[in-house]
Every structure is written in structure tokens, then in C-alpha cells.
Structure 1
Amino acid sequence: MKIFVDQLGTQYTFENSPQRIVSLVPSQTELLYDLGLEDKIVGITKFCVHPFHFKSTKTIVGGTKQVKVDKIKALQPDIIICNKEENTIEIVEELSKICPVWVTDIYTIEDNNKMIEDFGRLFNVRTESQKWIDKINFAKQDFLNFIKDYETQSVAYFIWGKPYMVAAQDTFINHLLELNKLNNIYANHEKYTGRYPEVVVQKMRIQGDPDLLFLSSEPFPFNDEHAFELGRHTHHAKTVFVDGEMFSWYGSRLVKAFDYFKKLRSRIGELHLQHSHSH
């Protein structure tokens, strides 16, 4: 019997390492695949889009907020993987009647690496998990060296349009913005509480007038009209469409994310040059 503790502090004992996994978190599905556990994954959500072939080889059990309990039960899982932010407490409680529900809770890269280490122990893939942790730490260090001479800029990171919603404090997105030397104008804003507050964009100038507006590719399909409308409420912000997966997915995705952030910084630099030439 081995004792394991998830990131909410819930304790589990497993006789053997779990053989049938249902994953209700897209980024964690990708991580489990990258840890070599493809054959053990039996159920995923409709949002689990990486790796691409899973949607034809795995059973889809619903979304991240609504799941088909009967479908999950029929898969006879040994463990269900959830995340505190992605899945509701009701889902976790309901599914706990079927088998242990392991809940991750991730705000920082340290939390992320802890999750990978936990999975290494839980699923008996320690060597693979250490490899990914090393890759992430290396990519992070390399990125911090790259970014150290950049000036800090201010940003508003939009995740939803109509009503407009942003990523604020205590979010993984905010943690990655900080690493990018981007100061989130809504991070410590006393008027807006919660992690993804609805904001009044008309007041953006007085609330921090950001240098940059990031419009995330997920979960909302922002377009040029949104970009134009939001830009009007700032003095000079440059609007940038960003890849939401790179800012909000944890797990093995981070290795690609740091690469992406380098390209993004260069792109923002070019925008800046174009901007100053046009004046």
C-alpha cells in the first residue's frame, strides 16, 4: 500500500499504480500522453485536443464543467484526474463515488512541477516525469536570461468578450505574464476581485492604461472588431492576439510556451518600432 497526497491535501492509498485513467483537464491529458501513459488513458473531455488522435481513440465523457457520469462509470476507471479551477466541486464529489478523484491546483511553475512529480510517482513513470521537469526548468532559465534586458510593460489579458473578462491575480496566466516582465493592470486592482473578473473597459485608461492588450485565442474567439473597440479605451495600447494555450495550459506544454514567449516578445518589439515610425 502506498500513500499519495494530491494538491488539495487529500490522501489516497493505492495497492498498485492506477491502470485506467479518466482525465478531465485538457493540459493534463497532454501531459499524461507525454509521460508515456497513452494506453492507460480511457476517457477524456471534448476539449482535450492534444494529442490530436485522442478524439478518435479515446472515449469522450463530456466537457470540463459538465460530464456524463454514466459514461465515466462504464469505463471503470481506477483514478479520475481533475483540477480545482477547471472542474467544479460538485463534479469532484459526484465522481468520488466511482473511484479516487485526484485534484491538482496550479498557480505557479513550482506547482506545475509538483504535479508532474506526483504523476511520476502515482503512475510509476518517475524517469519520464523528471525528464519533463528538467526540460521545463531549463526552458524557464533560458527564457529568464533572454528577457532580463527587456523593459517591463503593462498589460491587460482578456479571456472573454461581451461581457469583457480578464485574468487577474492568483491565476497561472498572471504568473506567466509576470515572468514575461508584463505588469497585469488588473492583478492587484482593489475594485476587481476574483480571478477572472468582468471589467468595465470604458474605464481602462484611469485603471492603468496598459501598453499592451492581449486577446486570448481561448476560450473566446476574439476578432479585429473587439481589438478595435478595446483599443479605443486606451491611449496607446498595442493589441496583440495571443495563443491562449501557451498562457493557460500547464504540464508539458510549458516547454513550448517559453519558446513562444520569445517569439511574442520579438513580435511586440516589431510592433513598437512600426508604431514609433508612424509618429
Structure 2
Amino acid sequence: MFMRTHVISPRLWCVLFLGMVLSLSACGQANSSSASTATPGVTPTPTVAVDMYGTPISFPKTAPQRIISLAPSVSEILGALQLQKRVVGVDALTNYPASMASLKKISDKSGNISIESIVALKPDLVLTTGGLSKKYNTQLMQLGLNVIDLPSPNVSQTLDQILLVGRLTYTEDTAQALVKQMQQQLTQIEQSVKGTAPSKVLLEIDDSTPGKPYVFGGGSFGDEMLQYANGTNIFHANSTNGGYPQVSDEAIIAANPQYVVLTEDPLYGGQPSVVYKRANWGGIAAVKSHQVYHINSDITQRPGPRIVEGIRCLAQVIHPDKFIGALPDYCSASV
């Protein structure tokens, strides 16, 4: 029998940490969004782009051949840029794509990084994001490693970050093609739901503390995704905890969402069947009409190439009549 615990998902710690630094990083990311097209074989000009801390990024003079990723979202970007053969190590939470997930892990699921393992791999570029590895960055740089801590982006800035990683790894053409495809998909989704009535939605991140779930609030990554999908976040006005507030069951019941979307791992509350059994939730519109869904945590909580999939899933859940067929398999996939 499924039992909820008071242990917060390791994924949630990453989400909450990124939320707390999003405001700071957004400023830096805005300056880095002017990534320009470079001629193949020509060194990118190290201008404009800044890291998580507002420091200008110095671009490699040659294409990095031994890359380490310290964040799953960065790993997914590197995978989408077809750089698997140049990546020598990844963090413990990297699980997609499979070719990246199978690489040597240089951290544990609590975020503890092995400096020795990284040094032994002799990387010429170490990429991280949002200050997740802040306490290790200085030590790695003192050992002579090139560490770049990318800003933590919102949805639109994720496209800029993909272009930035393309510049850093000399895969600009691939990055531009990927971003163009993502932009087209986003436009298609927005056109599909244009003119529809936005329904009230609860976007839950973690329910490991009974009666006090964490949710996507105002200014958060999920809140912006929901706007693309033409849904109304019932906690849009609550931007506490960096946009990831812990709320009460009473607040949810009072807001009466028409849809409940769980984005957490099933071990931490992400099971629709359990939602229907939650005390006093029986009167919520979403529960009464059986509009409770689970969407893959990774495509709703990671600012990477699959954000478009997450937005598509949200849009189809809220506006099913605007899409043909059943929800895509990736909506409920575990990776």
C-alpha cells in the first residue's frame, strides 16, 4: 500500500533552490540572450553573455572535447545537441536521454559532488546551472577547471540558454535548428488553445507532507508553462519561496481548481488515485469531475529541450477538444 512520508523528494530540493535564485539569474540571462550566429570553425566572440552571478562568460577558444554536466537540465541540452560522445560525466539525477544517463555519475542524489571524480575525468568544460553546485565551483576553478554556472532560466530564456550552450560547445547550427523547432511547436500550441476559456488549475510539485503540498506559484517555471497552455494557476498570486510556496489543503479547497495536475514522482504524491482519497478533497471540482492527472516530472520541472512536451501535455489536459487523439505517451513517462 502506498504510504506518504515526510521526506521531500530530491527533485523538489533542486526545484526549490532554483526558484530562490531565479530572480537573480533572470537578470543575467537577459544579457546573455543575444547569442549570435558564428561561422563554423570561427571562435565565438566572448561578449554579452554572463553566468549565474553576472560575470561575463569567457568562451573556449576551441571546441571542448571532455565536458561534465552537473545538472540534469544541462545534460538534456547537451544530449539534444548530440554531444554525448564529448560528455565524460554527469550528475546523479541525469536520467535522459539514455546515452547520457549511462555515463559516469560524479555526484549522489543529494547533490554531493565528488571533486576527485571530476578531476580524474580531466574535463575541459564543466557546466552547471542556477547555483546548484555553488559550494563546489570555487574549489573546481582553483584546481584549474573551466566551470560555467549558467543562469536558471524561465521558459522563454530556456531557448536562449540552449543557444548559449551551443556557442560554448561549437554546436551553434544544431542549437539554432533545435530552438527554431521548439519555437514553432510553442507557436502551434498557443494557436491551438487561442480563444479558449482558461480553466483553474492546481500544479502540484510535492505532497510528501500530508495536507501541506508544495505547488507552482507566481513567477515559477510551471506557472509560465501554464500560461502558454492557457490555464489559470490558482496560486499565481502566491510567489513566496521563490515562486514555489507550500500551501494548505484548505487553500486548495477554497480555490476549487477545475484541474489538478501532479508533477511529482509517484513516491512523493504523484498518483491521481491517491488524490481522490485525500481528506476533504471530495468537493473540489477537479475531483468530482475526475480531472486529476499526473505529468512526467522531468518535462514539467526541468528547463530543457523537453519543456515544449510539458506545455503540450498541460494544454491537452486542459483543452482536450483542441487536440487530436489521446495524451502522448511522454506525458506520463517516468523519464
> Residue type matched to 1:11 in 2?
P
Q: 1:197 aligned to 2:245?
A: yes
Percent identity at matched positions? 18
Deviating more after overlay: 11-20 vs 39-48? 11-20
Deviations 1:88-144 (A, max 9, x none): 432333433342322223443331111111112111111101100100110011111
Question: Partner residue of 2:162?
Answer: 116
Q: Is the CA contact (8 Å cut-off) linking 2:78 and 2:84 kept in structure 1? A: yes
Q: 1:216 aligned to 2:227?
A: no
SS in 2 for 1:159: strand
Say which of 298, 302, 310 aligns to 1:249: 302
Q: Is the CA contact (8 Å cut-off) linking 1:231 and 1:239 kept in structure 2? A: no
User: How is 1:39-58 mapped onto 2 (pairs within 5 angstroms)?
Assistant: 39-56=85-102, 58=103
Question: Partner residue of 1:62?
Answer: 107
Deviating more after overlay: 254-263 vs 43-52? 254-263
Deviations 1:22-53 (A, max 9, x none): 11121221221221211110111222111213
Question: Partner residue of 1:134?
Answer: 180
Q: 1:6 aligned to 2:54?
A: no
TM-score by length of 2: 0.71
Question: Partner residue of 2:284?
Answer: 235
TM-aligned CA distance change 1:133 to 1:53, over 3 Å = closer
Shift of 1:150: 2.0
Q: Is the CA contact (8 Å cut-off) linking 1:82 and 1:92 kept in structure 2? A: no
Question: Partner residue of 1:176?
Answer: 225
Deviations 1:211-235 (A, max 9, x none): 2211114383523224431771753
SS in 1 for 2:142: coil
Question: Partner residue of 2:151?
Answer: 105
Shift of 1:248: 2.0
TM-aligned CA distance change 1:90 to 1:149, over 3 Å = same
Question: Partner residue of 2:313?
Answer: 260
C-alpha distance in 2 between matches for 1:199 and 1:93: 36
Q: Is the CA contact (8 Å cut-off) linking 1:174 and 1:187 kept in structure 2? A: yes
Shift of 1:152: 0.5
TM-aligned CA distance change 1:248 to 1:231, over 3 Å = farther
Q: 1:143 aligned to 2:186?
A: no
Unaligned residue ranges in structure 1 (runs of 5+): 271-279
C-alpha distance in 2 between matches for 1:17 and 1:138: 29
Higher relative contact order (CA 8 A, sep 6+): 2
Shift of 1:170: 2.6
Shift of 1:258: 4.6
C-alpha distance in 2 between matches for 1:230 and 1:19: 54
TM-score by length of 1: 0.84
Unaligned residue ranges in structure 2 (runs of 5+): 1-42, 324-335
RMSD: 2.7
> Residue type matched to 1:168 in 2?
G
Shift of 1:262: 4.8
Question: Partner residue of 2:9?
Answer: none
C-alpha distance in 1 between matches for 2:98 and 2:107: 17
> Residue type matched to 2:46 in 1?
I
Q: Is the CA contact (8 Å cut-off) linking 1:31 and 1:253 kept in structure 2? A: no
